[in-house]
Amino acid sequence: MALVVQKYGGTSVGAPDRIQNVARRVLETQRAGNSVVVVVSAMSGVTDNLIKLARQVSTAPTDREMDVLLSTGEQTTIALTAMAINEMGGKAISVTGAQAGIITDGIHTKAKIANISPRQIRKYLNDGFICIVAGFQGQTLQGQITTLGRGGSDLTAIAIAAAIKADNCEIYTDVDGIYTCDPRIVPEARKIDVIAYDELLEMASSGSKVMQSRSVEFAKKFKVPFEVRSSFNTNRGTIVKEETPGLENVVVRGVSVERNQAKVTIPNVPDRPGAASRIFTALSDAHVVIDVIVQNVSIAGSTDISFTMNRDELEKIGHTLDGILKEIGAGALVKQDGIAKLSVVGIGMRSHSGVAARLFEALGKGGVNIQMISTSEIKIAVIIEEAKIVEAANLAHEAFGLAKA
């Protein structure tokens, strides 16, 4: 008999018939001889709607009240799911984050889990219940309701799996798993069978968002393997786990694409200590989230600095830098949007050479111009014209042999 944690995301519980579908699947899992803990999200759209409602009555609701409000989304789902299972003759009980013993710090709307005491869950499981736990929420030691940041139900599932030492942790969503690239962009993309935590984290930060990154980091830290799979079929999904030697044989695991990027170039930045610091401190004070930064080699005492960000961030820059650039004697900044980022990711890069060359060759042959390059140990990213991104993704996907065998 195995101890199984299953997490169902918003689309999987997005309507009454979908909740009934989840109820059936959960019951089957239990009837196959397992103990089952289920973590659910709010029904799809509910969290967004609650945020909209809040804005209609307040321009600046406190984070505490936002948490009290947002936690109701998941609470609705746990009750409905438990009812559906009980209606089918099963024995289920709903459990809030607080009842599940999830203790967090006091940073409302993005609380961190400090501790889990799953005594209550264990007791219910021993009594034969299926536990339906509300994702995304916890409470402080003082009993205040908190939430774990958008997408936080994933974190609840991983953390509970770690706390009760589950044999399996299954993250059910509306896709079949993690793909070598977005199939809407590369039709030949295929489902990845096994991926390392670090690869999934790099792919997520490069635009392939399947799971909340914090939950993957948590899984890595506490060594919780999990499977991402679909709640709409019975296909096996993608196993996410620690690195093993065999995983390194594949040089590139996947290609990620991030559209809607923008680039800023500052020409003639004097090459002296403190210049970059002035620029990026000002951007950080304006809460602009920067992605790739490239500084050129300095010629005759000055250099160019370019950086990218999401297109929406571009507006935030406004006149933030005007004064500073004058003060340090740099040229006027040049803004450009209509660019995108393409990344190839794989832990095999650590032990294989020529990966960058292969990517650049493929793009070059396809007439795709590279504007910026950035690398990490397991990722090569290029900034290119957005109009070329579909073509570039297909070229990269093919160059690394990622298509179906």
Q: What are phi and psi of 114, to 5 degrees?
A: -100, -30
Q: Please select the residue that binds Mg ion; options are 5, 7, 8, 10, rule is CB under 5 A.
A: 10
Choice between 10 and 177, CB closer to Mg ion: 10
To ligand ASP, the closest distance from the beta carbon of 155 in angstroms equals 8
Whole-number minimum distance, CB 67 to Mg ion, in Å? 16
- In whole angstroms, the minimum distance from the beta carbon of 385 to ligand ASP comes to 33
Helix (H) or strand (E) holding 256: strand 254-270
Which of 118, 151, 254, 346 binds ligand ASP (CB under 6 A)? It is: 151
State which of residues 10, 14, 118, 207 lies at the interface with ligand ASP (CB under 6 A).
Answer: 10
| C-beta closer to Mg ion: residue 13 or 383 | 13
Shortest separation between residue 97's beta carbon and ligand ASP, angstroms: 11
Buried b (16+ CB within 10 A) or exposed e, 365-392: eeebeebbebeeebbbbbbbebebbbeb
Closest residue by Cα to residue 24 from 236, 234, 235 = 234
Give ∠ CA 260-266-271 in degrees, rounded to 5. Answer: 140
User: Which does residue 73 touch among ligand ASP, Mg ion, none (CB within 5 to 8 A, set by kind)?
Assistant: ligand ASP
8 Å CB contact between 13 and 41? yes
Q: Is 131 left (phi over 0), alpha (psi -120 to 50) or beta?
A: beta
211 Cβ neighbours under 8 A, 6+ residues apart = 151, 154, 171, 200, 204, 228
Residues 28-47 that bind Mg ion (CB under 5 A): 41
Stretch that binds ligand ASP, among 148-156, 299-307, 337-345, 372-380 (CB under 6 A): 148-156
Answer whether 253's CB lies under 8 Å from 208's CB. Answer: no
Q: How far is the CB of 170 from ligand ASP (least distance, A)?
A: 15
DSSP annotation of 284: H
Query: Does residue 138 bind ligand ASP (CB under 6 A)?
Result: no
d(CA 54, CA 32): 43
Of 153 and 238, nearer to ligand ASP (C-beta) is 153
Q: Find the binder of ligand ASP among 42, 251, 349, 395 (CB under 6 A).
A: 42
Provide the residue type at 319 as one letter.
Answer: H
Q: Which of Mg ion, ligand ASP, none does 136 bind, CB closer than 5 to 8 A by kind?
A: ligand ASP
DSSP character at residue 182 = -
In the complex, what is the shortest distance from the CB of residue 150 to Mg ion, in angstroms, rounded to a whole number?
A: 8
Among 30, 139, 153, 206, binds ligand ASP (CB under 6 A): 153
- From residue 69, alpha-carbon distances to 42, 46, 60, 86, 109 in Å are 12, 11, 14, 27, 11
Among 90, 135, 237, 254, interactor with ligand ASP by CB under 6 A: 135
Site of interaction with Mg ion (CB under 5 A): 9-10, 41
- Residues binding ligand ASP (CB under 6 A): 10, 41-42, 47, 73, 135-136, 150-154
